[in-house]
Amino acid sequence: MIWLDVLVQGILLGGLYALFAAGLSLVFGIMRLVNLAHGDLIVLAAFVILLIVATTGLDPFLAALIAAGWLLQRLVLNRVLGRDILPPLLVTFGLSVALQNGMLEAFSADSRRLRVGALESASIGFGPVTVGTLPLLTFASAVVAIFVLNRIFYTTALGRAFRAVSDDPTTASLMGLNPRSVFAIATGLAMVIVTLAALYLGMRSNFDPSIGPARLLYAFQAVIIGGLGSLWGTLAGGAIIGVAQTLGAQINPEWQILAGHIAFLVVLLIRPRGLFPRAVD
């Protein structure tokens, strides 16, 4: 029974990683942008939530983050996007280090947490396995977020624009689309998911300014395992990393992270383009 438990807990943990990864998957799938600051943006959002919780409501903050994502894309990332992946990679690396050290100065290196009272330790029994309410909620949120993103992607005009600029920006712009505006909207949308991910990051574990790069790695692993441009693939990728980590931790607590990385390397060794690639890179 313990293996069933490991499997369930691992998949639920994968929900968290899929949430980390969904925004990245969107941005990477549409514009092949390797955002190395994605993890730090999640941590930043968690700190901002912490700040807002201490003061006011949540709505203006969400709007502010979307605006920040849109501006980031407009002012910075659009300028360096091109055939060469190096410039955006270096810019987001710069952003990552700037964010980490900025947060260190602003919020100190102390570990913080979003307190949600009884929900933190609540659990539900399903026959032989007991699952935490919060992990279950995280997984459900990941499924809903990916479902909604998929609906946007495949049934709306905006989604059509996303797919068009992803496949061929030049032809898309001949049809009257402005790829740069579309990219800016995509980054804005990704920041909504980042906010959601930050909420669960902050509620489920302690966070401090230095943990961004590790979250980025999990997220990227989920995206790559899932395959470029496949959002459900990202969820599957998150689940694979989650199960591998839980399994590793079951054998030896020090092997948790290592097991996740090795699962990623094995998948990449067998399928260099991931499990369910949609778009060509």
Partner 1 sequence: MRHSVTTRTRTSTVAGIAALALVILGLFLPAFATRSLIQDLFFILTMLTLAQLWNLIAGYGGMVSVGQQAFVGIGAYAMFAGVILWGWDPVPAILLGGAAAVLLAIPMAFFAFRLQGAYFAIGTWVIAEVTRLSVAQWKTLGGGTGTSLPREATANIMGVKAIAELFGVRDAAARDILAYRLALALAVGTMAAIYALLRARTGLALAAVRDNDNAARSVGVDARRIRWLVFLSAAAMTGLVGALIYVQTARVSPDAAFSVTSWTAYVIFIAVIGGMGRLEGPIVGVLVFWALQTAFADYGSWYLLALGILAILTMLFAPRGVWGLIHDRTGLALFPVQRRLVTDVSLT
Tokens of residue 75, six digits: 């002012």
For residue 95, the minimal CB distance to partner 1 (Å) is 6
For residue 79, the minimal CB distance to partner 1 (Å) is 5
Of the pair 63, 71, the CB lying nearest partner 1 is at 71
Evaluate whether 20 touches 212 at the Cβ level (below 8 Å): no
**Burial environment of residue 80 by CB neighbours within 10 A (0 to 12, 13 to 18, 19 or more):** middle
Which SS3 state, helix, strand or coil, does residue 205 take? coil
Of the pair 48, 89, the CB lying nearest partner 1 is at 89
CA distance linking residue 258 with residue 248, whole number of Å = 8
- What is the binding site for partner 1 (CB under 8 A)? 28, 32, 34, 36, 76, 79-80, 85-87, 89-91, 93-102, 104-105, 213, 217, 220-221, 224, 254, 257-258, 261-262, 264-265, 268-269, 272, 281
- What Å distances lie between residue 200 and 33, 162, 178, 237, 279, CA to CA? 25, 27, 34, 18, 29
Of the pair 6, 99, the CB lying nearest partner 1 is at 99
For residue 146, the minimal CB distance to partner 1 (Å) is 21
For residue 118, the minimal CB distance to partner 1 (Å) is 34
Of the pair 67, 97, the CB lying nearest partner 1 is at 97
Which SS3 state, helix, strand or coil, does residue 124 take? strand
For residue 72, the minimal CB distance to partner 1 (Å) is 11
Of the pair 35, 141, the CB lying nearest partner 1 is at 35
Render 91-104 in DSSP notation, one character per residue. Answer: HHHHHHHHHHHHHH
Render 64-75 in DSSP notation, one character per residue. Answer: HHHHHHHHIIII
